[in-house]
Amino acid sequence: MKIALVGNPNSGKTTLFNALTGSRQKVGNFPGVTVERISGQIDISGQRHTLVDLPGTYSLHPTSEDERIVASILLNPEDQDFPDLVVYVLDYKSLEQQLLMLSQIIDLGLPIVLAITMSDEVAKEGYKVNLELIQKKIKCPVILVSGRQKMNLEALKDLIRENLESPKKTPPFYRLQQQEEFILEAVANQHKNNQLTTYGQLLCIEHSEWLPFLSDTQKEHYQKAIQETEFNPIRSQVHETMARFEQLSPLAEQVVKKKQGYRSWTDKIDNIVSHPWVGPAIFIVVMLLVFQAIYAWASYPMDFIEFIFAEMGSYIRQILPAEAWYTQLLTDGILAGLSGVLVFIPQIAILFFLLGLLEEVGYMSRAVYLFDRFMSRFGLNGRSVVAMVSGGACAIPAIMSTRTIANRKERLLTILVTPFIACSARIPVYTVLVGFVVARDVHWGPFNAQGLVFMGLYVFGIVAALASALLLRPIVGGQTSGFLMIELPNYRSPNWKSIGLEVRSKVGSFVKEAGKIIFAISIVLWVIASYGPADDMENARSLALQTAQEQQLDEQATANLIASNELEASYAGHLGKFIEPAIQPLGFDWKIGISLLTSFAAREVFVGTMATIYSIGDAEDEFRVRDKMAADINPTTGQPTYNLATSLSLLIFFALAMQCMSTLAVVKKETGSWKWPIFQFIFMTGAAYILSWITYQLFQ
Amino acid sequence: MVHNLTEVHPGQKAKLVGFGDPAVGLKLLSMGLKPGFDIVVRRKTFTGDTYYISSAGKNIAVRKKEAKAIEIEY
């Protein structure tokens, strides 16, 4: 049997879903979080049923795409998710508003069990709920439950079982108006769906424009009937909603008794936090603290992870023959690739913990309120703030967070520009290159010049994102400006457990999704950088040995020289030489070319590749990489390769180019086709190429 | 003359009577804003383009365009 969980956003629906199925999924104060369809299994007295968590919606008259899912399923008995029973989840707060959709679903004639959630807070916040009265007036089975406290879950299951076995008919709520009767008569002869109630059929007519399961002839027929009877669907929906409230308001007042004054806390906090100019200042400080925390807290676990991998590598080298190809593939390819992925876990975990915390207490919707106008100037939505903030750590979760943006155009624009925000993977690259732009001990006024350039790169990323939004705005199709209309929930203390689950699931999906790609790429990279045409490789080796003998190099330096020459002769080296003409106008040579190629898998790979190229074993030792790079002389000009022009050009390139396979994969998943990730790749990398070229030509 | 929510000052009490734009009205109705109830603009953002409104125990942020569609008496 199929059971659907339906309810308003923030109704505690997802918490209840997790408690019933034990699955891992997001709970937040942020309306519209459950956009994906998520299902799980529950066992009720030995029988297995499918439980589907439908997106949080306010009504069966949806205004945004994610909300349409509920109506599309409940109006289509052929749908694979069409439920045998609806568990309507209701939060005791703002009961009246949530009874609205309940009354609509009752009118669809579906068997219903009403679950009232968060009962553990009822007494605390001064509410009293009269259960008997609800049961008497609405005439459907009611139960108080708590997903958080796991209260009454078994009783709820019993109630579900009872109602699956012998479904009770709940009397309809809404009496149709004359206008609505007319149009139903007009379509009655044709295309009447006998599986639906009259109200269900009315909804099909009113929403015939977008309901996905209607055939074209059905749609045409409905549209014609609407014109002929001069039926105004939206007016009718407003009328219906008001009529329902007329019935529900007195009931809600009787059922829930509120204690006065509980809201004052939220209002007091918002006097400061949502203040016209103190609010934005607080936001900026909060963000600075978040990123401070990420760098301060993450460095130790990151060092630890790298240490573990280094130990594993040397252990494998000890127990397996060191020169064998499989040992090298295992250590330099797979282990290196894995550590490249896993090293970011602490940062991602900390970021999600802090952002989850901000969301749980109800802060994120305030940031949306404060910055909506600013963002909408660029064709974005206030909700884009959340994505761009997350983008400072990693574009992947940031792009996933755009699901809350209902307007397609605003969402797509946010997805397209978020990767411009300087993510954590750019940090190692920036660290190395900034050193070539300004020397370490230069000060501009009281500020350290390197620090300022660093900050400038972050600002550059934000400016690039906003400017691109302006530029892409006319290109991306769709309705120009969406709605804001976002609920600002009361502040509440965080549910640590649900934040914990959230962090775990996000880290898990990062390791799985991003991990697969980085893992595969690192193996490919290892192969093309380790092998080359046999003759070339042999020549490179003997040449290196000859040079080493002439210069009387020690064992370590000889090995380094061999590695460096072999890299040049490898397939990767050939590739670098091959693309050199294309990147020469930007001031890059073939060595930078190889690193650029490898860094398209993930930006941080750049430093590692550079380290190999300049034949240093340890990529983490950034100063040594930098020293070697500083000493590198361009054979054609006789000048240092990393002069101001080349370094600036390279920095600009890294700030703008789309060099992240994982992000592209996520964009594909979120937009549903390869069209947008390909477009994004060309746009970002094209912008990087052009601006790097201009930079190089200006400073040369 | 129909008044709308952009005409009142923050803190000034008003009564919600209807919606100028049915699409906005439908969404706000379903979020818990109902005609007949008191409605108050609590605060606006720096540019005055986003409104923080309260009615029937609900706080909702709306764009100015949406506030214009909220018809009131005061």
The answer on A544 and A565 residing in a single domain is yes
Q: DSSP characters for A636-658?
A: TT-SBSS-HHHHHHHHHHHHHS-
The answer on A119 and A33 residing in a single domain is yes
The answer on A188 and A73 residing in a single domain is no
Exposed e or buried b per residue across A159-168, where buried means at least 16 C-beta atoms within 10 angstroms of its C-beta: bbeebbeeee
Cβ <8 Å between A242 and B62:
no
Write down the pLDDT at residue A121: 57
- In a domain, residue A401? The reply is no
Angle of helix A278-319 versus helix A345-361 axis, rounded to 10: 150
Counting the structural domains of chain A, the total is 3
Structural element, H or E, at residue A675: helix A675-699
| pLDDT averaged over 10-residue windows placed end to end, chain A, 700 residues | 87 82 48 54 85 86 76 87 92 80 92 80 64 82 81 88 85 83 77 78 89 86 87 88 86 69 76 94 87 74 85 87 80 73 78 83 91 92 88 81 80 95 83 81 79 85 95 82 84 82 77 68 77 88 86 78 81 89 91 82 75 52 65 73 90 93 82 90 96 93
**CA–CA distance from A680 to each of A395, A468, A597, A663 (Å)?**
13, 11, 17, 10
The Cβ of residue A506 has, within 10 Å, a number of other Cβ atoms equal to 23
3-class SS letters over A259-320: CCCCCHHHHHHHHHHCCCCHHHHHHHHHHHHHHHHHHHHHHHHHHHHHHHHHHHHHHHHHHC
The answer on A197 and A131 residing in a single domain is no
3-class SS letters over A623-639: HHHHHHHHHCECCCCCC
The answer on A241 and A109 residing in a single domain is no
The C-alpha of A74 sits at a distance from chain B's nearest C-alpha, in angstroms, of 18
Counting the structural domains of chain B, the total is 1
Which of A695, A667, A696, A699 lies closest to A683 in space, CA to CA?
A: A667
Here the tokens at position A429 are 């690259």
Write down the pLDDT at residue A6: 93
- In a domain, residue A502? The reply is no
What is the CA A494 to chain-centroid distance, rounded?
Answer: 21
The answer on A139 and A23 residing in a single domain is yes
Please, how many CA atoms are within 13 Å of residue A263, restricted to the half-sphere of its CB? 13
Alpha helices in A139-197 (DSSP H): 153-165, 178-188
Final residue of a structural domain among A620, A642, A664: A642
The answer on A230 and A151 residing in a single domain is no
Write down the pLDDT at residue A638: 73
Which of A475, A468, A458, A277 lies closest to A378 in space, CA to CA?
A: A468
B62: domain range? 3-73
- In a domain, residue A449? The reply is no
The answer on A243 and A107 residing in a single domain is no
CA dist., res. A68 & res. A549, Å (int): 74
The answer on A252 and A152 residing in a single domain is no
Q: For the domain that residue A73 is a member of, what is the CATH number?
A: 3.40.50.300
Residue of A206, A235, A248, A373 best to disrupt the B interface, most CBs of B under 10 A: A373
Alpha helices in A377-489 (DSSP H): 384-391, 395-400, 408-417, 426-437, 449-472
- In a domain, residue A451? The reply is no
Q: Which of B31, B34, B49 sits opposite A485 (nearest CB)?
A: B31
Torsions phi, psi for A136 (to 5 deg): -70, -45
The Cβ of residue A361 has, within 10 Å, a number of other Cβ atoms equal to 17
Instruction: Report the Cα–Cα distance between both ends of chain B, in Å, rounded.
Output: 12
Q: Does A48 touch chain B (CB under 8 A)?
A: no
A127: domain range? 2-165
CA dist., res. A371 & res. A380, Å (int): 10
ipTM of model over 0.90: yes
CA dist., res. B53 & res. B41, Å (int): 4
How open is the CA angle A395-A396-A401, to the nearest 5 degrees? Answer: 95
State which amino acid sits at residue B33: L
pLDDT digits (tens, 9 = 90+) for B48-59: 999 999 988 789
Write down the pLDDT at residue A247: 86
Q: Does B38 touch chain A (CB under 8 A)?
A: no
Which phi-psi region, left, alpha or beta, contains residue A93 (left: φ > 0; alpha: ψ -120 to 50)?
Answer: beta
Write down the pLDDT at residue A275: 94
Residue of A488, A490, A492 best to disrupt the B interface, most CBs of B under 10 A: A488
Write down the pLDDT at residue A52: 86
Write down the pLDDT at residue A25: 47
CA dist., res. B73 & res. B3, Å (int): 6
Final residue of a structural domain among A627, A642, A657: A642
The answer on A236 and A150 residing in a single domain is no
- In a domain, residue A209? The reply is yes
The answer on A236 and A151 residing in a single domain is no
Q: For the domain that residue B21 is a member of, what is the CATH number?
A: 2.30.30.90
The Cβ of residue A219 has, within 10 Å, a number of other Cβ atoms equal to 17
Cβ <8 Å between B61 and A277:
no
The answer on A222 and A103 residing in a single domain is no
